[in-house]
Structure 1
Amino acid sequence: MSDPALMTLTEAAAAVRAGDVTSQALAEACLARIAAAQDTLNAFIAVDAEGALAAARACDREAREGRFRGPLHGVPLAHKDMFYRKGQRCTCGSKIRAGFVPDETAEVLERLDAAGAVTLGTLHMSEFAMGPTGHNAQIGRCRNPWSPEHVTGGSSSGSGAAVAARLAFGALGSDTGGSVRLPAAFCGVVGLKPTQGLLSQHGMMGLSESMDCAGPLARSSADVAVLMDVLTGQGTHHADVLSRPVSGLTVGLPTSYYFDGVEPEVQAALDAARRVLEGAGVRVVDVDVPDHSAFAELANLVFTPEAAALHLPWLLERPEDYGPQVRARLMQGLTIPAVQHLQAKQLRVLHARAMIEGPLAACDALLTPALRRRVPTAAETDVAAGTAMAATIAAVSDMTRPLSYLGLPGLVTPVGRDSAGLPVAMQLIGRPRQEATLLALGHAHESTTDWLAAVPPVPGRPAS
């Protein structure tokens, strides 16, 4: 392969272990693509070329001696700029933390380091992870590799863009309301929101203690599975998706909420995905789901007061240093009564149980859109769009926020393209700690389609 950055994470890790490519070559290829794309995509907040190359050379020395740290030995990754690394600046996409240098390293980063990963730098994010589109009033917006006029999804905007554009082999994001799944869907890669609490949040910027959730993005479900094996550190075997048959599994199509008002191009891609899964031996059935109409507001009642409580000192001392939309959302959190917040958390347990004992007891996973409509443009989600902007942004997270409220795992993987060439994705929803089932289904679909093989155009390089 002329450009080793075009390999998947799984392929790159195997090539390093076999001696077919060096970690330094992988890092150099990624850094070259970053240099070509950064001015257009704005995917990185900081690039540590010197540190990455030094780490890659160290991995190569160990490989020559037959020593491999783990399944990610020598593979370059990059992460949303909210995972702390001791002694290195972590901005959280904000002006307020522009000079923040943590004195600890996030546990999830320590696990990736121990497995041999090389870190290229830190990635763009919505300010304080508050925004589903990729806009950031402080550092500018991240742009979609398939079309810079379209949004990346947020708040893990740089994670989606960097993985899609082959600037890194994988990335960490966070998902409090869809912030891993939306960038994965909009940029045409795979993103997993694990079961609430499965991955450590130690050393990760807090936003909502009840709903924050770290999650990986990569170029395939197999890649995500490798990352999950490392991140969980529990002897789990998500990577078995490569050989796990899906024949005999049952996937449910919700008869209400999720498919209401789906645009024709999106529906056509989801229908095709259904046929692919059926061709792999999966049984697809219609299932009733509990009423979801209140979930968005209940999620808001949980999320915004917790975020406002964390930010209260800065809201009092530095209100002008927030972007206007972020400040407005935080201020809204201060107005929510404690009784409503606690009731929303209590109802969360009951609603999650209803999903687990209802539709998810009748099938192994649910299949839904990741987004009912096509990927919006930046203009459609900008404040200049007026009242239409609010409606568009609300619609962006309609499919992802319920899952964050319920705490269930969800996988997003591409299933097609719209007429503008932007990705269309499906979301698979599972029972708690059944991430491996979702990954197996995602892998089965990806193995018989070529949506993940296409590479978006990067400045200075042809599309493929």
Structure 2
Amino acid sequence: MQLPDRMTDLLSMVRSGSITVKQAQDAQRSKALELNQSLHAAVCFHDSGDETYQGAFSGVALAHKDIFDMSGRAPGCGVNSGVDAPQTVPAEVLNLLRQQGAMHMASLVMAPCAAGATAQNPHFAACVNPLDSLAAVGGSSSGSAVAVASGMSYASLGSDTSGSVRIPAASCGILGLKTTLGLVSTQGCMPLAPSLDTIGVLARYAEDAQCVLQAVLTEGARSQLVEVNPQQLRLKAWFPPDLDPEVACVMLQALDEFGVEFHINHLHGFNDLSEWANQVLCKEVSQTFSKALQNAIAEPGVRSLAKFGTSVSEQAYQDAMHQRQKRCAAFLLQNLADADLLIFPALQVPLPDWREVEIGASSFCKPKFLGMFYYMGFLNYLGLPCLSLPAGRDRGGRPVAVQVLGRPLMDMALLEWAKSLESVWGKWSQRFSIH
């Protein structure tokens, strides 16, 4: 059967009785299995057996980053294919989705231990960008971005500690939401840097992302969300002086479509916030993986981060943590006193070839590699919600994305604003069709 582009349309078909839950699940699984043969996004597919699926998500089969505990299975976290663990219970986000009828169809490839800004992973076949097989795929939620962009899955849960949802989303021309720190439970998700870790959602359509976000929130978390009229949001844009001119040109055209006329060239606190974010990230990685580091079995990405972490003094780390709330308040006052949303680039450079950001490759280009995540980490330190979304194409036809930063708990409002753009732009997939 021909599946609809949108998850919400599939749900409507199931509810109307035009397709059964089983037929919908089987169609999604068959499509994902076929696409995965060439894209290598999945670690494994899960057998649902004779389980029944009842709830708002009945008929939907989703694939998620292989970083979440499942019933009887510990995740592989980009290092292996997962292991049987009879005592393991599902991560809270997976449990909430399952309670509402969603099938967990597959676990997806990721950068080892979530410590990588690209899809580079020696343990699995390389993820292929469905928009351009030579283009890089961002990390660490690389399989999630490939699966969503290709149509293997309508949406996917990933984790974002320093851009790990937003970078892959930007590289594959889809939406990637980093949620407000603490809004979505990280119980049952492998920690990288616990003070920065957030669960995020990748999707092709804003309304699909809204549905998934709504599903993984507790009632208490839902009640905290800030509701706004997207038409009344005040917008401003940050054009960093070190932004690649080609990216700046695409971004400028997109801002014209957004109706954004207020541009700034200086973002107060960016450099310091990026440094504090890096200190916290690297210090906590060195703590999280201390045993693996001591036993010399840590993954290269972990070792690289932890190496800097050992040079961060305990005093510097504690200061970064104690001053965090005050610094966030100052950032909002200095940069968002006259706006509700701040729009700025996702990647500093046009999306590179994958060989140019493959560490150890002869064609490795350090500036392009750093440009994949340069504008990312400071937001995890601030704990603010941020949405990566496609803004256009570069001269080579590859996606150029922007980030949209909101105030605390404006997660759903960001998606509502993106949904209002879909009516202006038409389908996101028309800009980045893989067919």
TM-score, L = length of structure 2: 0.92
Indicate which of 211, 217, 241 corresponds to 2:202. Answer: 217
Indicate which of 259, 262, 267 corresponds to 1:285. Answer: 262
Relative to structure 1, the CA distance from residue 128 to residue 325 in structure 2 (aligned partners, 3 Å threshold; closer, same or farther) is closer
Alignment of 1:150-165 (within 5 A): 150-165=135-150
Deviation at 1:430, TM superposition (A): 0.5
Alignment of 1:119-130 (within 5 A): 119-130=104-115
Where 1:293 maps in the other structure, the secondary structure is: helix
Deviation at 1:335, TM superposition (A): 3.2
Where 1:361 maps in the other structure, the secondary structure is: coil
**Structure 1 residue aligned with 2:21:** 23
CA contact (8 A) 2:226 2:410 kept: no
Residue deviations 1:142-182, cap 9 Å, x none?
22111222221110001111000000111100000011111
Where 2:232 maps in the other structure, the secondary structure is: coil
Q: Partner letter of residue 309 of structure 1?
A: Q
Relative to structure 1, the CA distance from residue 32 to residue 271 in structure 2 (aligned partners, 3 Å threshold; closer, same or farther) is same
**Structure 1 residue aligned with 2:294:** 316
Deviates more, 1:36-45 or 1:170-179: 36-45
CA contact (8 A) 1:94 1:138 kept: yes
Residue deviations 1:322-374, cap 9 Å, x none?
44343232333233221121122234323211122222231110011111221
Distance 2:163 2:215 in 1: 22
Q: Partner letter of residue 337 of structure 2?
A: A
Relative to structure 1, the CA distance from residue 245 to residue 301 in structure 2 (aligned partners, 3 Å threshold; closer, same or farther) is closer
Relative to structure 1, the CA distance from residue 220 to residue 239 in structure 2 (aligned partners, 3 Å threshold; closer, same or farther) is farther
Relative to structure 1, the CA distance from residue 440 to residue 314 in structure 2 (aligned partners, 3 Å threshold; closer, same or farther) is same
Deviation at 1:308, TM superposition (A): 1.2
**Structure 2 residue aligned with 1:7:** 5
Indicate which of 155, 158, 164 corresponds to 1:170. Answer: 155
Alignment of 1:370-381 (within 5 A): 370-381=346-357
Indicate which of 56, 72, 97 corresponds to 1:87. Answer: 72
Distance 2:396 2:21 in 1: 36
Deviation at 1:27, TM superposition (A): 2.5
**Structure 2 residue aligned with 1:331:** 307
Distance 2:73 2:226 in 1: 35
Distance 2:128 2:324 in 1: 34
Where 1:413 maps in the other structure, the secondary structure is: strand
Distance 2:363 2:377 in 1: 21
Relative to structure 1, the CA distance from residue 284 to residue 237 in structure 2 (aligned partners, 3 Å threshold; closer, same or farther) is farther
**Structure 1 residue aligned with 2:234:** 250
**Structure 2 residue aligned with 1:260:** 241
Residue deviations 1:258-289, cap 9 Å, x none?
532333432233223222222xxxx6423563
CA contact (8 A) 2:225 2:411 kept: no
Residue deviations 1:109-160, cap 9 Å, x none?
1111111111111011110000011111222432211122222111000111
Q: Partner letter of residue 15 of structure 1?
A: M
Deviation at 1:240, TM superposition (A): 12
Deviation at 1:422, TM superposition (A): 1.8
Structure 1 portions without partners, runs of 5+: 60-67, 458-462
Relative to structure 1, the CA distance from residue 325 to residue 230 in structure 2 (aligned partners, 3 Å threshold; closer, same or farther) is closer
Deviates more, 1:390-399 or 1:115-124: 390-399
Structure 1 residue 362 corresponds to structure 2 residue 338? yes
**Structure 2 residue aligned with 1:69:** 55
Structure 1 residue 45 corresponds to structure 2 residue 23? no
Indicate which of 271, 295, 309 corresponds to 2:273. Answer: 295
CA contact (8 A) 1:367 1:429 kept: yes
Relative to structure 1, the CA distance from residue 386 to residue 432 in structure 2 (aligned partners, 3 Å threshold; closer, same or farther) is farther
Structure 2 portions without partners, runs of 5+: none
Deviation at 1:19, TM superposition (A): 1.6
**Structure 2 residue aligned with 1:307:** 285
Identity, % of aligned pairs? 30
Residue deviations 1:26-76, cap 9 Å, x none?
32332233232223221001112x32x744xx33xxxxxxxx512x22211
CA contact (8 A) 2:78 2:114 kept: yes
CA contact (8 A) 2:73 2:82 kept: no
Relative to structure 1, the CA distance from residue 451 to residue 347 in structure 2 (aligned partners, 3 Å threshold; closer, same or farther) is farther
CA contact (8 A) 2:292 2:298 kept: no
Alignment of 1:106-255 (within 5 A): 106-234=91-219, 236=222, 245-254=229-238
Distance 2:304 2:410 in 1: 37
Alignment of 1:395-414 (within 5 A): 395-414=371-390
Q: Partner letter of residue 88 of structure 2?
A: D
**Number of positions where the alignment pairs a residue of Structure 1 with one of Structure 2:** 432
Distance 1:284 1:239 in 2: 28
Where 1:217 maps in the other structure, the secondary structure is: strand
Deviation at 1:405, TM superposition (A): 1.5
Where 1:383 maps in the other structure, the secondary structure is: coil
Distance 1:298 1:322 in 2: 24
Indicate which of 250, 257, 273 corresponds to 1:276. Answer: 257
Relative to structure 1, the CA distance from residue 325 to residue 359 in structure 2 (aligned partners, 3 Å threshold; closer, same or farther) is closer
CA contact (8 A) 1:90 1:100 kept: no
Relative to structure 1, the CA distance from residue 12 to residue 54 in structure 2 (aligned partners, 3 Å threshold; closer, same or farther) is farther
**Structure 2 residue aligned with 1:460:** none
Q: Partner letter of residue 27 of structure 1?
A: Q
Report the RMSD for the aligned CA atoms in angstroms.
2.5
Relative to structure 1, the CA distance from residue 388 to residue 451 in structure 2 (aligned partners, 3 Å threshold; closer, same or farther) is farther
CA contact (8 A) 1:164 1:455 kept: no
Distance 1:233 1:326 in 2: 32
Relative to structure 1, the CA distance from residue 240 to residue 15 in structure 2 (aligned partners, 3 Å threshold; closer, same or farther) is farther
